[in-house]
A and B are shown apart, each in its own frame.
Chain A
């Protein structure tokens, strides 16, 4: 039983991090102001453990820090050349699996995938691009789905079911064929009960779920990651706190 949140600590890259029994490694690190790269983790939602970008070495064993609970005295390594190299490879795979054309993407400067790639010093995609054919779904009058950019993090799925109680989104298929679908016979967002007020409309870390007709309204210089890299920027979900 924990008496006091400072009672138990672990070491993250040599720094002492206090934790409580409810926290996972990444949650404790974030609470202490330490950055562990991540994409599918969002402090507002239950961890999913799918993107593996937050992988760390805990007592010498690699694990997803968003699902792994720390132990007192645990030695956790995150910011090492080897682990960052593995993260870089995962990011490069995400970039080639979809169609991520940052120069004309309205999420550029606000995109966690792009910002994390910068953080990991990604200079090229390295692998051959898949160039999948993924038409956008523009059927909804207020929101657009650009599937080209989906990284299958399932945050919209979790937000829709856990917060909105709607199940608008789901991941279908397996392995490389996994894709985002919406809950309508027609497969069109307009035929679901999705609303712009839903939590799911505002959680996508990349530029898939886009409010129509407002792209590029925020000038360069005022976007989330213009001023500071993602490692120095509070998570969007924590910004108002």
Chain B
């Protein structure tokens, strides 16, 4: 099946514009746009080449290696893969209920990860667009520009991220690619010194993350025409929620709502994810398109991540974040918030929640305990799900009686959001590019939409104004007519005209 603007009716004589690359870590991404002579948009596609080799590579390896090996899938959220794999392998070693110390250490690690990734995403990657404007001077549209014009915001962003990384270091042994979680538990708890070191700065983190929520809220209040409508489209929401319906980014069951906010399903055990999610393959991209089986591919696609989680849960257990969630819901009105830029607001509320959770955990004596690992009746298949910074992350493994992995299936958040991100770039292309001459600022609008979903590290490169872009204008026979290039210094040029 095909969506509006997914496939042009008559591609003959249309020009093709490609934004390439968008992403380098979780595969390689690009946007292609087909335009006619009046620059009217006829087709927009976001292509992400997923790295599927991993699922093959892991076969035949001992299962306890997996949580460490999978971290290499991602440079920004390795902890999410580490924990999702560990949760799946808890099933293999029969650890139905972790010890309190193990459960809380893993949660601490995870919320540290949420904090560092959300801070990176908002302050380093997105705030330049939001504070300076999408088509502002590219030379200033980066974190260095923020540091010059808004030094306090830049400083807080850097320190919030650093704090999250320190939480990870104390729980996993290293700031990146550590080893803290093992099947059935963890390999360390916190020492008193480590705990006190983190507690020392926690109140600053609380103040600054609350400030960040207020900053994004103000942006929506001051410019609703942009923030509430840029690239907006209606979609279903899916996420894991806690067993009590509250926000829980580490554990719970699956819930989905339709675009009007009505519950589609609730309380689905994530071990049964394959009964509710199907993946569609399309001939123009390697990345699959997941959808809710019960609704079919046309109506069943959904989005995941902060915007879904914020509107899927019934409440947030920590007081400051709960107040902000209520404001968010009230602002949206009767209908849920569907605007991609609303992701940033939800993301900052989650960051505040993460700081509150971290503070609570640091005051919990269980994190100093010694009871680290538990095992039970051996299993042969396990699914682990976690709400990673970007959204629901599913790891699924089968292990044979000799302890070797025989099957691995991963559904990462970027895949869940594939249709939603395509939808967002189509809306933006229609809203902003349609009928206009292409400029760097207009192209950045496309990337702002993709970046709201937080696809990957390469966007960091772009936010720093360093991502090279190339736009090819082709005729229907795919002959290149002209080329528009943005250099790593952000300078637009037409280096060659051929044919």
Interface residue ranges, A against B (CB under 8 Å):
103-106, 135-136, 138-139, 144, 146, 210, 212-221
Contacts and interface: CB of A to CB of B under 8 A. Distances in A.
A31 B179 CA distance: 35
A35 B404 CA distance: 39
Given A103-B68, A104-B65, A216-B68, A135 B60 contact: yes
Contacts of B404: 136, 138
B177 A216 contact: no
Contact of B177 (A103, A212, A221): A103
A212 B65 CA distance: 11
Given A144-B62, A215-B182, 6 more contacts: A103-B177, A136-B60, A138-B404, A213-B403, A217-B373, A219-B187
B177 to A, nearest CB: 7
Interface residues of B, number: 25
A135 B61 CA distance: 9
13 contacts: A103-B69, A103-B177, A104-B65, A104-B68, A138-B62, A138-B403, A144-B403, A213-B64, A214-B64, A216-B68, A216-B179, A219-B187, A220-B178
Interface of B: 60-62, 64-65, 67-69, 72, 93, 172-174, 177-180, 182-183, 187-188, 373, 402-404
Which 8 interchain pairs have the tightest Cβ spacing? A220-B173, A104-B69, A138-B402, A219-B188, A215-B64, A219-B187, A216-B179, A104-B68
A223 B404 CA distance: 25
Contact of B62 (A136, A139, A218, A220): A136
B182 A216 contact: yes
B281 to A, nearest CB: 30
A106 B177 contact: no
Contacts of B69: 103-104
Contact of A106 (B65, B93, B188): B65
A215 B62 contact: yes
A103 B93 contact: no
B68 to A, nearest CB: 5
Contacts of B61: 136
A55 B67 CA distance: 39
Nearest to B404: A138
A235 B178 CA distance: 26
A212 B62 contact: yes
A51 to B, nearest CB: 26
A217 B62 contact: no
